Structure 1
Amino acid sequence: MKKITVLIVLASFFSCTSTKIIVDRPIVFNDEREALTLEYLENRYGLVQNTPTIVPKMIVLHWTVIPTFEKSFEAFDNPTLPNWRPEIKDISGLNVSSQFMIDRDGTIYRLLPETTMARHVIGLNHCAIGIENVGGTEKLPLTKAQLKSNIWLVRYLKDKYDIDYLIGHYEYTLFENHPLWLERDDGYRTKKTDPGQYFMQKVRDAVSDLNFKPLPNED
């Protein structure tokens, strides 16, 4: 059984102070995963680093399309990519992951340190903090509790880091030709719809006072 650490964090929300709990539930980050992450940074982005750290400039919201937290966690836990992801396995053996995952009841889990690279968004992993949300299918839409926790977590991260952009995963290709975009392979793209435009707009509306930069290449 892995050790789970619970951290209570205070964050300012307009004129009020709210309390949220971040539960530390780390995925495996052993020597193999570290080596694969450093290899990914070098091969995909041309970044040669001694440690797999990032300087966060962006928050990316996702959904897992997996119905439970435990199954979603299990999908990320292994350092290497499983065989059921053939569309990306030839790019790197590093498994997908994110820094955070939010369960359907709104519980916020931290899977990785916030400044450790996770593989969750093509071209931008070197500067992006990922927030995964459990569910996201037609029969299992994201919940109001998840919406509230996403809003809170975005505020927490924006207050902690010099973050410029908030995006849904489906918007990542807008950053092609942007200085933050470092993917070397012009053919490596996957089509995304998460976390849904309705959910994304709800989060954006709630944090409009944070003045994130507008997305590039947006018609």
Structure 2
Amino acid sequence: MLLSVRNICTTLSLLWLMACSSSVEQQAAKKNESAALEVVQWPIIYNDKREQLSLEYLDKRYGIKAEKAHITPKMVVVHWTAIPTLKASFNAFNSPMLPSARSKISSASQLNVSAHYLIDRDGTIYQLLPNTTFARHVIGLNHSAIGIENVGNGSTLPLTSEQLKANIALIKQLSEEFPIDYVIGHYEYKNFANHPLWKEVNPNYLTTKTDPGETFINQIRASLTNLNLKKVPDLPQ
């Protein structure tokens, strides 16, 4: 009888240790997942001037009259900055006014380009603007697009595996908050020229983009199959 009691006690002890171990592993997994989604707040300047220019952009470029420069997110557009460092990339977006060096797009608006997120080469995610605040980062689609910029250029500074993981984790998190239908590379924006989401009033206001590269955006989408994203439209003929 004593031996039986000891066996029972030993078995219960083992079961308890296994349960504790499983709980610790689950908590560690959740902690790692949370750490992967950590977002550092690093807001760019958003003052009355940026709001005014954003409202003017919505009106003149899209025919949208609004009291607040807000967006309704339905897509995520992934970019690279073509700037080699995090700080320089942040500085490029920080001013509300477009710098003189961007003369090719200044005719459309004096509003500076920006994005909602900036991801450094080590995968650290920085949030520059609230998710529903208007940002100028993609022709024709800014009213419905959350922008993610990645520090790099695809050639001398190819985007990293850490950035890939960060983009995937961030987009998954955004999809929990918003009904995201499309995840596209910046170079794919012209495919939407005949789409209901397209709002640019000037059919000739188009620029050629290559970011963030076909391989990078396809790797992102391959990891988001459970989101049931819509297929990017074919390029209009």
Q: TM-score, normalised by structure 2?
A: 0.84
Letter in 2 for 1:126: H
1:87 aligns with 2:104: yes
- Matched residues in 2 for 1:88 and 1:156: separation? 32
Partner residue of 2:208 out of 191, 197, 200 = 191
Partner residue of 2:168 out of 133, 140, 151 = 151
Letter in 1 for 2:190: T
Q: Give the superposition deviation at 1:191.
A: 0.2
Q: Which residue of 2 aligns with 1:169?
A: 186
1:31 aligns with 2:40: no
Asked if the contact 2:154–2:211 (Cα under 8 Å) also holds between the matched residues in 1, the reply is no
Partner residue of 1:131 out of 142, 148, 152 = 148
1:216 aligns with 2:233: yes
- Matched residues in 2 for 1:216 and 1:105: separation? 32
Deviations 1:99-119 (A, max 9, x none): 001000100000000000100
- Matched residues in 2 for 1:53 and 1:105: separation? 30
- Matched residues in 2 for 1:88 and 1:208: separation? 35
- Matched residues in 2 for 1:159 and 1:137: separation? 29
- Secondary structure of the 1:33 match is helix
- Spell out the pairing of 1:8-157 with structure 2 (5 A cutoff): 17=30, 18-19=33-34, 20-157=37-174
- Matched residues in 2 for 1:213 and 1:123: separation? 18
- Identity over aligned pairs, percent: 54
> What's the RMSD between the two structures over aligned residues?
1.1
- Matched residues in 1 for 2:220 and 2:55: separation? 32
Q: Which residue of 2 aligns with 1:5?
A: none
- Secondary structure of the 2:76 match is strand
Deviations 1:19-44 (A, max 9, x none): 12101100000000000000000000
Partner residue of 2:199 out of 178, 182, 191 = 182
Q: Give the superposition deviation at 1:139.
A: 1.3
- Matched residues in 2 for 1:74 and 1:83: separation? 14
Structure 2 regions of 5+ residues with no counterpart? 1-28
- Matched residues in 2 for 1:104 and 1:180: separation? 31
- Matched residues in 1 for 2:187 and 2:90: separation? 22
- Give the direction of change, closer, same or farther, for the CA distance of 1:218–1:92 in structure 2 (3 Å limit): closer
- Matched residues in 2 for 1:75 and 1:124: separation? 21
- Give the structure with higher Rg (CA): 2
Letter in 1 for 2:86: F
Letter in 2 for 1:201: N
Deviations 1:184-212 (A, max 9, x none): 00110000000001111110111111110
- Matched residues in 2 for 1:207 and 1:218: separation? 22
Asked if the contact 2:95–2:112 (Cα under 8 Å) also holds between the matched residues in 1, the reply is yes
- Secondary structure of the 2:39 match is strand
Deviations 1:151-201 (A, max 9, x none): 000100111101111100000000011110000001100000000011111
Q: Give the superposition deviation at 1:136.
A: 1.8
Letter in 1 for 2:74: K
Asked if the contact 2:154–2:213 (Cα under 8 Å) also holds between the matched residues in 1, the reply is no
Deviations 1:46-93 (A, max 9, x none): 110000000000000000011111000000000000011111011100
Q: Write 1 or 2 for the structure with the bigger share of strand.
A: 1
Q: More displaced, 170-179 or 136-145? A: 136-145
Letter in 1 for 2:91: E
Letter in 2 for 1:144: S
- Matched residues in 2 for 1:106 and 1:137: separation? 16
Letter in 2 for 1:75: A
Letter in 2 for 1:89: S
Q: Aligned residue pairs: how many?
A: 204
Q: Write 1 or 2 for the structure with the bigger share of helix.
A: 2
